[in-house]
Amino acid sequence: MVEISSVQDFVDLLAEAGDRLVVVEFFATWCAACKAMYPRVIELCKENPEIVFAKVKFEDNKVICKAMGVKALPFFQFYRGADGRLASFSASLKKFPLVEEALEAGLAPRCQLGDPKGADEFGRFRPRPLEMRPWRNELESKAETAPVE
């Protein structure tokens, strides 16, 4: 599990993950629900080596937590490549199935557009290139404007 300790770490992690699913857990050492969830999260890490798991410690990263809308702990966010953020929610041990469902949804196969050479069939309505990392600018701007407590 990768530890995120700055906005730059967060941005770099998402960029380096490419099209892989990324699960970010926001936690605090004083949070009983976080402690209860930890063994289950570690179990998921071991069972799913194709997924990038990361953690953000609330006490040391309040700016990131505020910028990302974390209001309760433990808090999970799921990202995947150009799709950006897929899910974002708080979950206790009792609601752990939500985490598992989000994992399954994030790993589900996605539609692929055909080879760009075949785009001629669109005529003048050619698909435009997508912004591959729409979340990067959003995250950086939120982090810059978030007040430090």
Contact criterion met (CB below 8 Å) for 86 and 51: no
Reported confidence tier of residue 83, pLDDT bands at 50, 70, 90: confident
Contact criterion met (CB below 8 Å) for 91 and 76: yes
Q: Residue 121 class from Cβ within 10 Å (0-12 exposed, 13-18 middle, 19+ buried)?
A: exposed
Reported confidence tier of residue 130, pLDDT bands at 50, 70, 90: very low
- The per-residue pLDDT for 42 is 96
Short-list 34, 58, 48, 29, CA closest to 100? 48
Phi then psi dihedrals of residue 54, to 5 deg: -140, 160
By percentage, how much of the chain surpasses pLDDT 90?
A: 62
- The per-residue pLDDT for 34 is 96
**Catalytic: 45?**
no
**Structure pTM?**
0.74
**Catalytic: 65?**
no
Q: Return all residues near 127 (Cβ < 8 A) that are at least 6 apart.
A: 113, 119
Q: Which of 31, 45, 65, 111 is catalytic?
A: 31
- CATH number of the domain to which 110 belongs: 3.40.30.10
- Structural domain boundaries, residue 47: 2-145
Q: Which of 34, 45, 65, 111 is catalytic?
A: 34
- pLDDT tens-place string over residues 27-79: 999 999 999 999 999 999 999 999 999 999 999 999 999 999 999 999 999 99
Counting the structural domains of the chain, the total is 1
Phi then psi dihedrals of residue 68, to 5 deg: -90, 5
The larger pLDDT score, comparing residue 144 to residue 132, is at 144
Q: Please say if the pLDDT value at position 110 is more than 80.
A: no
Q: Return all residues near 110 (Cβ < 8 A) that are at least 6 apart.
A: 83
